[in-house]
Amino acid sequence: MPPHSPHPPLDADEFRRQGRLVVDFIAEYYDRIDDYPVRPAVSPGFLARQLPETAPSQPEHDALAAALRDVRDLILPGLTHWQSPHHFAHFAATASNVGALGEALAAGLNINPFTWAASPAATELEVVVTDWLGKALHVPENLLFSGGGGGGTLLGTSCEAMLCTIVAARDRKLAEIGEERIGDLVVYCSDQTHFSFQKAARIAGIRKGNCRAVATSWETGFTLSPKALLAAVHADVAAGRVPLFLCATVGTTPTAAVDPVRELCAALSGAGHDDVWVHVDAAYAGAACVCPEFRNVIEGVEAADSFSTNPHKWLLANMDCCALWVTRPHALTEALGTDHDVILKDGAADGEAVVVDYKDWQVALSRRFRALKLWLVLRCHGVDGLRAFVRSHVRMAKAFEDMVRDDARFEVPVPRQFALLLRLREKKQRCHDDDAGRVINELNRKLLEAVNATGRAYMSCAVVGGVYVLRCAIGNSLTEERHVQEAWRVVQEQATVILAVVKRTGGDRTVCNAHCLEIDGKASASFLAGK
Amino acid sequence: MPPHSPHPPLDADEFRRQGRLVVDFIAEYYDRIDDYPVRPAVSPGFLARQLPETAPSQPEHDALAAALRDVRDLILPGLTHWQSPHHFAHFAATASNVGALGEALAAGLNINPFTWAASPAATELEVVVTDWLGKALHVPENLLFSGGGGGGTLLGTSCEAMLCTIVAARDRKLAEIGEERIGDLVVYCSDQTHFSFQKAARIAGIRKGNCRAVATSWETGFTLSPKALLAAVHADVAAGRVPLFLCATVGTTPTAAVDPVRELCAALSGAGHDDVWVHVDAAYAGAACVCPEFRNVIEGVEAADSFSTNPHKWLLANMDCCALWVTRPHALTEALGTDHDVILKDGAADGEAVVVDYKDWQVALSRRFRALKLWLVLRCHGVDGLRAFVRSHVRMAKAFEDMVRDDARFEVPVPRQFALLLRLREKKQRCHDDDAGRVINELNRKLLEAVNATGRAYMSCAVVGGVYVLRCAIGNSLTEERHVQEAWRVVQEQATVILAVVKRTGGDRTVCNAHCLEIDGKASASFLAGK
C-alpha cells in the first residue's frame, strides 16, 4: 500500500470514519442547497481546466477529506442542483433519506444478483418488492407475480424497459413470420411520446422509417387518438408491413397528457390486431396511481402487455430505478435469456423449483441490488406516506395554477395534469395576426431565459401544437409552498421587465424568428443580446 | 406525513442520524463477513415466505432501524457474499470504502447529468476521469479526449458497451449499403467470448445465424486465431454477407485468455476489411494494464475502434461502472443521438463550444453520476495504490498455482492468466479410455459441489475443450493469503473424501453422464445424491 494509505481499500473501522465524513457532507449539502443557483453560470471547460491531466500516483494525506473539499469548492458550484427546491425544469428525480441510504447500503453490500443463485435474497426481494409496488400503484393482477402469470423487475430507466419489451415483441413476431422480415416491422407512438422510444426502437433494429409518431392535437389534449392510430396501422398493413408494438404514454413529457389506454387496446383488438404488443410508459405519472383518486389514469392497462414507471422520478427512490411489469415474462426471457452458460448455471436450484433469473429480463448480465432501496422506501414511508407526498405536490401545482390564472398576462394553455404549464399571453392583440404566434413564442422563450438566469427558479419549455410553453414541474422532495410562491414571483418580475422592454421599443409591426426579435422594424439589440 | 414520520422524506438532520445507522451497519457487515457461508443454503421462496404480501400503509416506529434489523436477520443470511474473502467464483466485484461512499455521495446529490447543461460539472468530471483512467491503464491516445479525436464514457456494464458500439457500427454500415440489408450483417467473436456479446448483437437486430463464434482450441490457449477469423470472414463474403463487427476479448471468462488484438486487426486490415469495427472487451483484465508489466495484453489496441473495461470488477469502483472508449465518438452519437428535443436543448451552450452530451453515447436518457465514484477511487488510492492492489492478487494466484502443482492429484490445465484454474487429475489411469474424460469431468463437478457446500470457499467452473475445470478467481478486496491457503485446504480435503468414495466403490468399468455416475456397474447412490 502506498505511504498515505495505511488502511486496506475495504476496511470496517476506516469505513466508519470515512462514512461519517460523507454522511455529514451530504447533510450539509441539503442544509445549504438553497444557497446555490439552481443552474450554474459556467462555461464549457470550466472544471477540466482546474483539474490535473492525470490521476495522482500517490494519494495525498487524508485523500477523502481533500477530495470532499474539492467536491464542495469545484464540483458543487458547477452542478445543476436537481434536489434544489427551486428546480422545476424536468420531472423531478426525487431523493429521500432512505433512497440515498438504500443506494449506499446496496453499494456497501456490493453484490451482483444476476441469477437467483448469484444472490437468492436479492432476487426474492425484487420479486416481493415489485409486487408490493404494483399493488400500491393499483397495477392489475395479471402484471404481478401474485396474479399467477406476470411479474416485475427493476431496471435503470424507461428506455431500457422499452428496449427490452420491443426486443421481446420483435423476436416473438419474427419467430412467426421469419427473421428476414425485420424490415417490415412497424412501431407506433404519438408525436408527444418521449424520444427514448424511437431510440429504443432504432437500437432494436426497427427501420428508421417504420416508427410512426401519430400526430396529436389541441382537440384531444395531445393524447393519442385510437382512430388516428388505427388509420396508421391500416395503412401499414395495406402496404405489406407488420404492426408490432404500441407505446402508450401516461403522463407525456411535454404536457403530462394521458393516452387512453383502454380505448387504444380496444381499437387494436377490435381491428384484429391484438397481437400488437402494447407497452404503457408511465415513467412520471405512474407514481400518482398510489392515490386512488388518480388510479383512473391507467384505466385499461390490464389489456396491455407491459407497464413501466420510474420510482426514481416521483416516488423517493433516488437514481436510478425503473419498475417494469409484464404479463408474460416468458416473452422477455425467450428473447433475452441465455441458458447455455455453464458458469452461471452452476449452483442453480435445478429441478427444485422455478426461480427468476433476472439477467434474462434485461440487457446486461450484471445488475445492482435496486430492490433493497425500493423496499426501504416502501417500509419507511408506507403507502400512506407516498400518497401524502404525491398529494402535497399536486396541491402546490393547483395553487400555482390559481396564481397564474389570477394574472391576466398569463394563460394555462393545456389543462393541468400533475405538472403545470404556463405561458405569457400579453401582447397578442398588439401584433399582426400572422406574426402573433411567433412573437408570443419568442417572448416566452425570452421569459424562460430571464427566469432561469436569476438562479432562483429553473423551469423548462415545450413546444406543443406550434406553441412554445414554459414548463413548470412541481415534485421535488424539498419543494414547499413558499418555493412555488417564490418561483411565481420570479416569473412575474421577469415578465414585467420583458414586457416593459417590448413596450418601450415595440409598436405594431413585429417580426420574429428563432434567432431575432424585431419590434417596429428596430432590432432591439439590448433586448435580444442582454438579459 | 404519517404519524411515525415526523421528518420530511429529505431532511438534513435526520440524514445525519440515519446515515450513521447505515454506515455502522455496513462497517459491521465487513467486520462479520467472514462468519457467513459465502453462498447461502436456502431454497427458492425462503425470503418471500417471510415477508408480508403488501407494503405497509404506515411505517412502523423508527422504520429504518427496524428495516436494518430485517436486513441483518432475513436478507444477509440469504445473500451470496460477493465481498467475502472466500468468494472465488466469479471475477470479483471489488468494493472499496471510497467506491461505496462515492456511490452514496452520488445518490445523495442525486443529479441526472444526461447533457452537459443538465449538470455541467458532472459531464466535465466524466471527461476528465475517463482520460485519467485511460492514461493510468496505458490506453492509446487515439481513444482519449486528450488525444484529440477519441473519448470515454462510463456506462453500467460491458454488455451495454457492446450494444452501443454494435449499433454505431451497424448504422454506419447500413447508411452505406442500405437499411434493408440488416439481415446480411455478420458479427464475430470466439467460442470463449462472453455470452453478453451474442446477446447484444441479437438485441441490435443481427440475425441469430449471423453471429460467428469462431472455435478455439488447446493449441492456441483458447484465444481467437486470426487465421480462423479470416476464414469465417471470407466464407461470409463469398456468400454475399457483410462482415460488420469483431469483439476481441482480453481476459475471457472461462480461462482469462487474451485474444491477439494486434494480429486480429492486422489480419482484417490486410484482407481489405478494415471497415470491420473492432471492439476490445477487457472487462476483467483491463484493470491489470494499470501495471506496466501487464500492458502487453492490450498490445495493438490502437488499431481498434473501441475498448472497454469494468472498474467495478478489479479496480475498487463498486457496482456498476464500465468504462468505454471510442476512437470516433461521432459514430456513437450519430446512431444514439437525439437532437430534436427542445426541452433538453434549452440551456445548452449554443455556439459557445462543443460540449459532450453523454445521453448520445448510451442507450438511456437518464444516467447516474458515476464519474464521482471513479474520481474518488483514483484520488484516494492513486495509480500506485491500484497497482499494488492488482499485484497483490496476482501474487496470491501464483502462490495458489504453486500449491496446486505440489499436489499430484491436481493439474493446472491452462496457463494461469490473472485468475487460476485447477482440475482434479487422479483416477484417470483407472478408467477405460473412452469413458475417462467423462468420469474425470464428473469427479471435478462433484468436487466443486463439495467445496461450495462447505460454505468456506466458493468457486465456479468452466468447460473448455470438453474439459470441466474448477475456476478459482482471486481478486476480492478482503482476500488475503490466508484465505487462499484455506481455500486450497478445503479443495484438498474434499478431494480426499471424494476419491475415497470412488476407491471404495470403484473398479474398472466406469460409466458417466451428466446426471449419473456409475462405477463398476453399481449405482453409487450415496456418492451421487449426497455430498
Query: For residues B82 and A112, is the Cβ–Cβ distance under 8 A?
Result: yes
**pLDDT interval class at B459 (50, 70, 90):** very high
Which residues are bridge partners to B33 per DSSP? none
Cross-chain Cβ contact B12/A28 below 8 Å: yes
Cross-chain Cβ contact B56/A379 below 8 Å: yes
Q: How far apart are CA A209 and CA B420, in angstroms?
A: 50
List the single residue in A204, A338, A383 with the smallest CB-CB distance to B199: A338
Residue among A114, A366, A372 with most chain B CBs within 10 A, to mutate: A366
Q: How far apart are CA B153 and CA B160, in angstroms?
A: 12
C-beta neighbour count of A312 within 10 angstroms:
29
Secondary structure (H, E, C), A189-218: EECCCCHHHHHHHHHCCCCHHHEEEECCCC
Cross-chain Cβ contact B78/A124 below 8 Å: yes
Chain A residue nearest residue B161, CA to CA: A364
CB environment B378-406: b (16+ within 10 A), e (fewer): bbbbbbbbbbbbbebbbebbebbbebbee
Classify residue A479 as left (phi > 0), alpha (psi -120 to 50) or beta.
beta
Query: For residues B145 and B358, is the Cβ–Cβ distance under 8 A?
Result: no
pLDDT single digits (tens) B41-87: 999 999 999 999 999 999 999 999 999 999 999 999 999 999 999 99
Cross-chain Cβ contact B135/A55 below 8 Å: yes
Q: How far apart are CA B309 and CA B375, in angstroms?
A: 16
What is the strand order of the sheet B522-523 is part of?
Answer: B510-512, B517-519, B522-523
DSSP string computed for B384-441: HHHHHHHHHHHHHHHHHHHHHHTSTTEE--S--BSBEEEEE-TTGGGS-HHHHHHHHH
Cross-chain Cβ contact A461/B343 below 8 Å: yes
Chain A residue nearest residue B43, CA to CA: A349
Residue among B20, B73, B84, B112 with most chain A CBs within 10 A, to mutate: B112
Chain A residue nearest residue B472, CA to CA: A343
Element (H, E) at A235: helix A226-238
Query: Does a cis peptide bond (omega within 30 degrees of 0) precede residue B320?
Result: yes
Q: How far apart are CA A170 and CA B208, in angstroms?
A: 13
Cross-chain Cβ contact A336/B53 below 8 Å: no
What is residue B309's three-state secondary structure? strand
% of chain B beyond a pLDDT of 70: 89
What is residue A281's three-state secondary structure? strand
- Strand extents, DSSP E, A282-382: 306-309, 322-326
Higher pLDDT among residues B81 and B529, named by residue: B81
Residue among B5, B10, B164 with most chain A CBs within 10 A, to mutate: B10
Query: For residues A143 and A137, is the Cβ–Cβ distance under 8 A?
Result: no
- What single-letter amino acid sits at B149? G
Residue A375 in contact with partner chain B when CB distance is under 8 A: yes
Q: Is the pLDDT of residue B520 over 70?
A: no
C-alpha cell read off for B124: 466535465
Can you tell me the mean pLDDT for B483-500? Answer: 95
Residues of B in contact with A448 (CB under 8 A): 346
CA atoms within 13 A on the CB side of A512: 23
Query: What is the nearest CA distance from B270 to chain A, expressed in angstroms?
Result: 30
Q: Residue B96 burial by CB count (10 A; 0-12/13-18/19+): exposed, middle or buried?
A: buried
DSSP string computed for A429-455: GGS-HHHHHHHHHHHHHHHHHHHHHTS
Domain architecture of chain B: domains with CATH? 12-81 (1.20.1340.10), 112-368 (3.40.640.10), 385-529 (3.90.1150.10)
| CA angle (B193, B195, B197) in 5-degree steps | 75
What is residue B65's three-state secondary structure? helix
Q: Is the pLDDT of residue B262 over 80?
A: yes
Query: What is the nearest CA distance from B469 to chain A, expressed in angstroms?
Result: 10
C-beta neighbour count of A8 within 10 angstroms:
15
Among B271, B274, B281, residue whose Cα is nearest residue B231: B271
DSSP string computed for A84-116: -TTB-SSS-----HHHHHHHHHHHHH----SST
Residue A173 in contact with partner chain B when CB distance is under 8 A: no
C-beta neighbour count of A142 within 10 angstroms:
17
Q: Is the pLDDT of residue B498 over 80?
A: yes
Q: Is the pLDDT of residue B273 over 70?
A: yes
List the single residue in A183, A310, A382 with the smallest CB-CB distance to B57: A382
Q: How far apart are CA A206 and CA A247, in angstroms?
A: 14
CA dihedral in degrees (B376, B378, B381, B386; nearest 10)? Answer: 140
Task: Note the pLDDT of residue A362.
Answer: 97
Task: Note the pLDDT of residue B478.
Answer: 96
Residue B481 in contact with partner chain A when CB distance is under 8 A: no
Query: For residues B309 and B94, is the Cβ–Cβ distance under 8 A?
Result: no
Cross-chain Cβ contact A121/B40 below 8 Å: yes
List the single residue in A104, A110, A200 with the smallest CB-CB distance to B83: A110
Among B303, B238, B300, B299, residue whose Cα is nearest residue B269: B303
Task: Note the pLDDT of residue A510.
Answer: 42
Q: Residue A232 burial by CB count (10 A; 0-12/13-18/19+): exposed, middle or buried?
A: middle
Q: How far apart are CA A144 and CA A136, in angstroms?
A: 12
Query: What is the nearest CA distance from B333 to chain A, expressed in angstroms?
Result: 12
Can you tell me the mean pLDDT for B286-304? Answer: 97
Query: What is the nearest CA distance from A270 to chain B, expressed in angstroms?
Result: 30
What is residue A512's three-state secondary structure? strand
What is each CA distance from A137 to A122, A301, A322, A522, B67, in whole angstroms? 22, 12, 14, 56, 22
List the single residue in B109, B203, B320 with the smallest CB-CB distance to A29: B109
C-alpha cell read off for A1: 500500500
- Which of residues 54 through 83 in chain A touch B, CB cutoff 8 A? 54-60, 63-64, 66-67, 71, 74-83
Q: What sign does the dihedral A144-A146-A152-A154 (CA atoms) show?
A: positive
Question: How many residues in chain A?
Answer: 531
Task: Note the pLDDT of residue B343.
Answer: 47
Residue B122 in contact with partner chain A when CB distance is under 8 A: yes
Cross-chain Cβ contact B2/A384 below 8 Å: yes
Cross-chain Cβ contact B363/A160 below 8 Å: yes
Query: For residues B115 and A134, is the Cβ–Cβ distance under 8 A?
Result: no
Cross-chain Cβ contact A121/B78 below 8 Å: yes
Cross-chain Cβ contact A111/B82 below 8 Å: yes
CB environment A363-399: b (16+ within 10 A), e (fewer): bbbbbbbbbbbbbbbbbbbbbbbbbbbbebbbebbeb
Q: Is the pLDDT of residue B516 over 90?
A: no
B511-516, Cβ contacts within 8 angstroms, sequence gap of 24 or more: B511/B435, B512/B435, B512/B438, B512/B439, B512/B441, B512/B442, B513/B438
Residue among A14, A26, A378 with most chain B CBs within 10 A, to mutate: A26
Residue A178 in contact with partner chain B when CB distance is under 8 A: no
Which residues are bridge partners to B241 per DSSP? none
Q: Is the pLDDT of residue B513 over 50?
A: no
Cross-chain Cβ contact B385/A59 below 8 Å: yes
- Which of residues 328 through 367 in chain B touch A, CB cutoff 8 A? 335-336, 338, 340-343, 346-347, 349, 352-355, 363-367
Cross-chain Cβ contact A195/B340 below 8 Å: yes
Q: Give pTM, 2 decimals.
A: 0.93
Task: Note the pLDDT of residue B514.
Answer: 29
Task: Note the pLDDT of residue B304.
Answer: 98
Chain B residue nearest residue A134, CA to CA: B54
| CA angle (A444, A480, A392) in 5-degree steps | 100
- Strand extents, DSSP E, A144-184: 151-155
Each residue's pLDDT expressed in tens, for chain A with a length of 531 residues: 444 455 799 999 999 999 999 999 999 999 999 999 999 999 999 999 999 999 999 999 999 999 999 999 999 999 999 999 999 999 999 999 999 999 999 999 999 999 999 999 999 999 999 999 999 999 999 999 998 899 999 999 999 999 999 999 999 999 999 999 999 999 999 999 999 999 999 999 999 999 999 999 999 999 999 999 999 999 999 999 999 999 999 999 999 999 999 999 999 999 999 999 999 999 999 999 999 999 999 999 999 999 999 999 999 999 999 999 999 999 999 999 987 554 444 444 444 457 999 999 999 999 999 999 999 999 999 999 999 999 999 999 999 999 999 999 999 988 888 878 888 875 444 444 557 788 889 999 999 999 999 999 999 999 999 899 999 999 999 999 999 999 999 999 999 999 898 877 754 334 333 223 333 323 333 333 332
Residues of B in contact with A384 (CB under 8 A): 2, 57-58
Query: What is the nearest CA distance from B56 to chain A, expressed in angstroms?
Result: 5
Residue A392 in contact with partner chain B when CB distance is under 8 A: no
| CA angle (A350, A352, A356) in 5-degree steps | 70
Residues of A in contact with B124 (CB under 8 A): 44-48, 78
Query: What is the nearest CA distance from A179 to chain B, expressed in angstroms?
Result: 7
- Which of residues 3 through 22 in chain A touch B, CB cutoff 8 A? 5, 7-16, 18-20, 22
Q: How far apart are CA A464 and CA A219, in angstroms?
A: 12
- Which of residues 256 through 315 in chain B touch A, CB cutoff 8 A? 312
Query: What is the nearest CA distance from A507 to chain B, expressed in angstroms?
Result: 29
Q: Is the pLDDT of residue B187 over 60?
A: yes
Query: For residues A140 and B150, is the Cβ–Cβ distance under 8 A?
Result: no
Residue B1 in contact with partner chain A when CB distance is under 8 A: yes
Task: Note the pLDDT of residue A7.
Answer: 77
Query: For residues A166 and A187, is the Cβ–Cβ distance under 8 A?
Result: yes
Residue B213 in contact with partner chain A when CB distance is under 8 A: no
Q: What ipTM did this prediction achieve?
A: 0.93
Rg (CA), chain A: 26
What is residue A276's three-state secondary structure? coil
Task: Note the pLDDT of residue B340.
Answer: 53
Residues of A in contact with B29 (CB under 8 A): 108-109
Cross-chain Cβ contact B79/A119 below 8 Å: yes
Among A434, A456, A453, residue whose Cα is nearest residue A508: A434
Q: Which residues contact B411 (CB under 8 A, 6 or more apart)?
A: B404, B422, B423, B425
**pLDDT interval class at B524 (50, 70, 90):** very low
Q: What sign does the dihedral A528-A529-A530-A531 (CA atoms) show?
A: positive
Residues of B in contact with A110 (CB under 8 A): 82-83, 93, 95, 99-100, 318-319
